Chain A
């Protein structure tokens, strides 16, 4: 149980294009989903927290107009990187959590490369 999927697992795009990453909780309802970014050999950096049906809460320094997050259902959240640039290249990981529980379950990550 508690499986989280991400799609795509890997994407390469040209500079200036937008990329959408999906995060799904497959066997539970996730009232809260989190989006992280991970640079090589570093820990995870929380980008934003999204609650189903509400606007996402972004961490300081994360541009909400660049990283659009939608959490339209209890099993799906999407992260759209708008007008991507090479510096946006990174490993993006989502996690999901059931309401009033403490454990986050992570997706397998999406490797974004912007040329």
Chain B
């Protein structure tokens, strides 16, 4: 069945380090792909999205490219900050009611 597999955490990085959080999916059809971020005690915020193959979503220095050939949507940031510490969720969905989340990856950035 459809699913999202996300890199397990927790991930701890030093400030200004490079970040990659892997995400792969299995899907029927052509879903949109999303990254959401959850700060402690809060709901989820949409970080970025991509709606079709080869699209790149970007926001706040984060990027992810929709790779159909590898069914992946890895999240990257060139230089993380302490304020990026949060839990990151990969997800996919479509205009129907199917929306699948990964298990979340906790990121801690230390000064």
**Contact yes or no, B45 A106, CB < 8 A:** yes
Chain A hits for B46, CB < 8 A: 2, 103, 105-106
Number of B interface residues in the complex (CB < 8 A) = 23
Cross-chain contact of B104 among A43, A93, A102 (Cβ < 8 A) = A43
Known: A32-B97, A100-B95, A108-B42. A42 touches B32 (CB 8 A): no
**Contact yes or no, B99 A46, CB < 8 A:** yes
Quote the shortest CB–CB distance from A26 to chain B (angstroms).
14
Cross-chain contact of A44 among B32, B45, B101 (Cβ < 8 A) = B101
- Residue ID in chain B nearest A2 by CB atoms: B46
Residue-wise interface mask of A (90-115) relative to B, using a CB-CB cutoff of 8 A (1 in contact, 0 not): 00010100001111111111010000
Number of A interface residues in the complex (CB < 8 A) = 25
Cross-chain contact of A104 among B42, B99, B102, B103 (Cβ < 8 A) = B99
Most B CB within 10 A of own CB, among A32, A57, A105, A106: A106
Chain B hits for A104, CB < 8 A: 93, 99
**Contact yes or no, A108 B94, CB < 8 A:** no
**Contact yes or no, A6 B43, CB < 8 A:** yes
Residue-wise interface mask of B (30-55) relative to A, using a CB-CB cutoff of 8 A (1 in contact, 0 not): 01101010000111111001010000
Cross-chain contact of B32 among A32, A57, A102 (Cβ < 8 A) = A102
Chain B hits for A111, CB < 8 A: 41
A34 at the interface (CB under 8 A from B): yes
Q: How far is the CA of A41 from the CA of B41 in the complex (A)?
A: 11
**Contact yes or no, A103 B34, CB < 8 A:** yes
B66 at the interface (CB under 8 A from A): no
Chain A hits for B101, CB < 8 A: 43-44
Please report A residues at the B interface, Cβ cutoff 8 Å: 2, 4, 6, 32, 34, 41-44, 46, 49, 57, 93, 95, 100-109, 111
